[in-house]
Structure 1
Amino acid sequence: MSLHGKTFLVTGAGSGIGRAVARQLLREDARVVLVGRRATALRESAGAAADQQALVHPADIARPVEAAGAVRAALNRFGGLDGLVNNAGLARFGPLADADPNDLTAMLDVNLLAPVHLIRAALPALRAAGGSVVNVSSVGGVLAMPRRAVYGASKAALNSLTRSLARELAPRVRVNAVLPGPVDTPMYDDLGLAPQQVAQLRDDMVESTPLGRFGTPDDISSWVCRLLDPEAAGWVTGALIPVDGGRTS
Structure 2
Amino acid sequence: MTLDGKSIVVTGAATGIGRGITECLLKSGASVTMVGRRAEPLRELADGYGDAAAVLVQDICALGAAERIVAAAIERFDGLDAVVNNAGSARFGRLEAIDPAQFDAMFAVNVRAPADLIRCALPQLRANHGSVVNISSVGGVLSMPGRAYYGATKAAMNSLTRSLARELAPDVRVNAILPGPVDTPMWTETGLSEAATDQLRTDLLSSTPMGRLGASTELGRWACLLLDPDLSSWVTGALIPVDGGRTA
Q: TM-score, normalised by structure 1?
A: 0.98
Aligned with 1:48: secondary structure?
coil
Partner of 2:204: 205
Task: State the 4+ residue runs in structure 1 displaced beyond 2 angstroms.
Answer: none
Q: Which runs of 5+ in 1 are unaligned?
A: none
Question: In the alignment, which residue of structure 1 is the partner of 2:32?
Answer: 32
Shift in Å, 1:101: 2.4
Aligned-pair RMSD on alpha carbons? 0.8
Contact map agreement 1:134 1:224 (CA 8 A) in 2: yes
Counterpart in the other structure of 2:46: 46
1:19 is aligned to: 19
Equivalent positions of 1:1-249 (< 5 A) are 1-50=1-50, 52-249=51-248
Amino acid at match of 1:103: Q
Judge conservation of contact 1:60–1:67 (CA < 8 Å) in 2.
no
Give, as a single letter, the amino acid of the residue that structure 2 aligns with 1:6: K
Partners in 2 of 1:70 and 1:38 — Cα distance? Answer: 15
Distance in 2 (alpha carbons) for counterparts of 1:47 and 1:229: 24
CA distance in 2 between partners of 1:64 and 1:206 (Å): 39
Q: What 5-or-longer segments of structure 2 have no aligned partner?
A: none
**Same amino acid, percent of matched pairs:** 59
Contact 2:2/2:29 (CA < 8 Å) preserved in 1? Answer: no
**2-structure distance, mates of 1:138, 1:47:** 30
1:64 and 1:114 in contact (8 A); partners too: no
Deviation at 1:67, TM superposition (A): 2.1
Q: Give the Cα separation in 1 of the matches to 2:155 and 2:229.
A: 26
1:245 alignment partner, SS class: coil
Once residues 45 and 182 of structure 1 are traced to their aligned partners in structure 2, the CA distance between those partners, rounded to angstroms, is 23
Letter aligned with residue 31 of structure 1:
S
TM-score normalised according to structure 2 size: 0.98
Instruction: Write the letter of the residue equivalent to 1:138.
Output: S
Q: How many residues align?
A: 248
Cα distance, 1:151–1:32 mapped onto 2, change above 3 Å: same
Query: What's the offset of the Cα at 1:64?
Result: 4.1
SS of structure 2 residue aligned to 1:134: strand
